[in-house]
């Protein structure tokens, strides 16, 4: 069975779910740090802030899907400027203190001003207290 987390409305310019769950795994779509200046939400002024804010968004999605950053087994890190690579990595490793998941990094060029975005695959937490609505 496949379940979809935060599916878009029909006709959305972002035609993908925030995440899907299937076979005991959670697949999180690529997400940068939230950015909505009208509501006072900014990605971050530095590469490190963008990593923190983007991974906080990924963690929120994982929690909704009954998982967590601690259960991530694979990450894709998308960057816009290779010059930021070292600064992004310096912050990234802080979010996986129990061990670094497998990862690949690629440049991306979607219409955004984000420096970094992440997608990941995580193991679903099957404990009874972690049930998700709709299960």
Q: Is 82 helix (H, G, I), strand (E, B) or coil?
A: helix
The domain defined by 18-123 carries CATH number 3.30.70.340: no
Report the candidate in 88, 96, 94 with the shortest Cα–Cα distance to residue 120. Answer: 96
Strand, helix or coil for residue 105: strand
Work out the average pLDDT over 12-40. Answer: 89
Strands of the sheet containing 72-79, edge to edge, are: 2-5, 19-22, 25-32, 116-123, 72-79, 102-107
Which pLDDT score is estimated for 53? 94
Q: How far apart are CA 94 and CA 44, in angstroms?
A: 17
- Predicted model pTM: 0.88
CB of 134 closer than 8 Å to CB of 3: yes
pLDDT in tens, 94-129: 999 999 999 999 998 766 788 999 999 999 988 766
């Amino acid at each position: 069975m496949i379940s979809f987390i935060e599916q878009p409305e029909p006709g959305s310019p972002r035609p993908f779910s925030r995440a899907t769950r299937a076979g005991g795994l959670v697949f999180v779509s690529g997400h940068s740090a939230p950015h909505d200046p009208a509501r006072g939400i900014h990605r971050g002024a530095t590469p490190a802030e963008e990593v923190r804010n983007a991974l906080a968004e990924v963690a929120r999605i994982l929690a909704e899907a009954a998982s967590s950053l601690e259960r991530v087994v694979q990450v894709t890190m998308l960057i816009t400027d290779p010059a930021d690579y070292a600064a992004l990595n310096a912050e990234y490793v802080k979010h996986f203190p129990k061990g670094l998941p497998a990862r690949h990094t690629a440049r991306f060029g979607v219409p955004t001003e984000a420096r970094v975005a992440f997608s990941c695959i995580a193991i679903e937490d099957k404990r009874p207290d972690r049930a998700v609505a709709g299960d």
